């Protein structure tokens, strides 16, 4: 079936087809469950001479991150993907990528971290990297993952910031859904070929230094600049999301979706007294639960976790009496991460906050369980 038509695709294959259409110059990765199908497909595209990118199979995730760092530093579009322990092995390099202001885009197939060993889904891996200085987007389904990869490249390359798109391992990577892969022409209308800014990449004809050694008097200023630019990217994330929708989205909007922007989606009753806040594939189950039980209830699905749209969320939930935060990660020794960010954003608001950590290590999350939490 041709591109830009509804297809029944595995999530990993849909992501790989999207990356193929985005035409990176360098792809490097090391296979790790459940990310493997993405990079296997990208390798097969190369082996079948269907793409022009350089595909580098690294000896580890640390090496893969280093390879895309080096490639991005030369001013070309790059891509990588990883999961769980592999993401943790990339940690040192990922901090360098953001500090060097390189627009590396990568997929994280979210999976629990060890020990004990577990290969199923939760958000423990990405939460360990939430302060790495990258834009972090979360996908509910295949189509959202496709769209967010395209959006991520537009924002990352415009602002010289790295981006990570989070897709729940197995739940999205290995399941099949109907989705559309935009044609390359349609993508190019939104995202032109990458042209690095002069003086911001390695070029023998115009020598520059990236990742320079600095003393205390400059380090603070550079870190604060990264912080401010990351916070400022919120406006562009929303602006470009809405621009992409105008180009690509042809289906009628679900009447239950009250707000649909680059930061979040609000589903259910307007100004609901009880709002559930969540990220990722669990949002589909929450929507089904809301449809089943009805009442004064809504879902606020967070799409953009970093930078965190705290002020925007505060405006949306100003009439809410109770917020239930459902998340798939612990912050050991402290409050759960999404809850902490939300509590900080809503400081002083007269809203009851309820924190529930669910689905760790791939534990099933059912409508019955969600209903019980709502009623508790």
pLDDT in tens, 164-199: 999 999 999 999 999 999 998 999 999 999 999 888
- Quick one: tokens of 331? 């912050």
- The Cα 228–Cα 134 span in angstroms is 12
Domain with CATH 3.40.50.970 in the chain: 7-247
| Average pLDDT, rounded, for the chain | 96
Query: What percentage of the chain exceeds 90 in pLDDT?
Result: 93
pLDDT of amino acid 133: 98
- The Cα 24–Cα 78 span in angstroms is 5
pLDDT digits (tens, 9 = 90+) for 213-264: 999 989 999 999 999 999 999 999 999 999 999 998 867 778 899 999 999 9
Cis amide linkage into residue 361, ω under 30° from 0: no
Contact 358, 328 (CB under 8 A): yes
pLDDT of amino acid 250: 67
**What are the φ/ψ torsions at residue 42 (nearest 5 degrees)?**
-65, -35
pLDDT of amino acid 64: 98
Region 78-103 average pLDDT: 98
pLDDT at 3 over 60: no
Region 5-14 average pLDDT: 95
Least confident of 63-72, 241-250, 299-308: 241-250
pLDDT at 77 over 80: yes
pLDDT digits (tens, 9 = 90+) for 315-328: 999 999 999 999 99
pLDDT at 351 over 60: yes
Query: What percentage of the chain exceeds 70 in pLDDT?
Result: 99
pLDDT at 54 over 50: yes
pLDDT of amino acid 249: 80
**CA torsion 26→305→176→324, rounded to 10°?**
170
Region 308-320 average pLDDT: 97
Domain with CATH 3.40.50.920 in the chain: 257-375
**Beta strands of 163-273 (E only): which ranges?**
163-168, 176-179, 257-260, 264-268
Count of other CB atoms within 10 angstroms of residue 160: 18
DSSP 314-340: HHHTTT-SEEEEEES---TTSS-HHHH
pLDDT-derived band at 2 (thresholds 50, 70, 90) equals very low
- The Cα 314–Cα 320 span in angstroms is 10
**What are the φ/ψ torsions at residue 178 (nearest 5 degrees)?**
-75, 130
Which superfamily does 7-247 belong to?
A: Thiamin diphosphate (ThDP)-binding fold, Pyr/PP domains (3.40.50.970)
- The Cα 190–Cα 240 span in angstroms is 9
Count of other CB atoms within 10 angstroms of residue 286: 26
Region 101-114 average pLDDT: 98
pLDDT of amino acid 4: 61
**What are the φ/ψ torsions at residue 166 (nearest 5 degrees)?**
-100, 125
Region 344-354 average pLDDT: 96
Domain at 257-375: CATH code? 3.40.50.920
- The Cα 100–Cα 77 span in angstroms is 15
């Amino acid at each position: 079936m041709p591109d830009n038509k509804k297809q029944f695709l595995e999530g990993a294959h849909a992501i790989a087809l999207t990356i193929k259409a985005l035409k990176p110059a360098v792809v490097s990765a090391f296979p790790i469950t459940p990310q493997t199908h993405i990079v296997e497909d990208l390798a097969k595209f190369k082996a079948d001479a269907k793409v022009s990118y350089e595909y580098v199979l690294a000896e580890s995730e640390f090496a893969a991150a280093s390879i895309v760092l080096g490639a991005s530093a030369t001013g070309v579009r790059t891509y990588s993907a990883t999961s769980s322990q592999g993401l943790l092995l990339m940690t040192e390099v990922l901090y360098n990528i953001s500090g060097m202001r390189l627009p590396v885009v990568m997929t994280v197939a979210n999976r629990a971290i060890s020990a004990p060993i577990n290969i199923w889904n939760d958000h423990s891996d990405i939460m360990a990297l939430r302060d790495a200085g990258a834009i972090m987007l979360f996908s509910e389904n295949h189509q959202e993952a496709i769209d967010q990869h395209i959006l991520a490249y537009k924002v990352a390359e415009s602002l010289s910031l790295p981006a990570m798109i989070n897709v729940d391992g197995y739940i999205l990577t290995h399941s099949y859904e109907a989705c559309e892969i935009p044609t390359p022409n349609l993508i190019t209308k939104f995202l032109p070929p990458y042209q690095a800014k002069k003086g911001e990449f390695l070029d023998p004809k115009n020598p520059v230094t990236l990742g320079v050694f600095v003393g205390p008097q400059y380090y603070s200023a550079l870190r604060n600049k990264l912080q401010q630019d990351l916070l400022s990217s919120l406006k562009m994330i929303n602006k470009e999301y809405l621009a992409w929708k105008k180009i690509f989205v042809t289906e009628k909007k679900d009447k239950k979706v009250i707000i649909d922007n680059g930061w979040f989606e609000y589903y259910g009753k307007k100004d609901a007294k009880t709002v559930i806040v969540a990220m990722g594939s669990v949002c589909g189950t929450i929507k089904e639960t809301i449809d089943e039980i009805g009442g004064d209830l809504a879902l606020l699905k967070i799409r953009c976790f970093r930078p965190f749209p705290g002020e925007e969320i505060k405006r949306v939930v100003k009439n809410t009496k109770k917020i239930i935060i459902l998340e798939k990660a612990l912050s050991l020794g402290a409050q759960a991460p999404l809850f902490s960010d939300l509590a900080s954003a809503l400081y002083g608001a007269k809203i009851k906050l309820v924190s529930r950590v669910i689905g760790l290590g791939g534990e099933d999350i059912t409508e019955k369980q969600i209903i019980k939490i709502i009623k508790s």
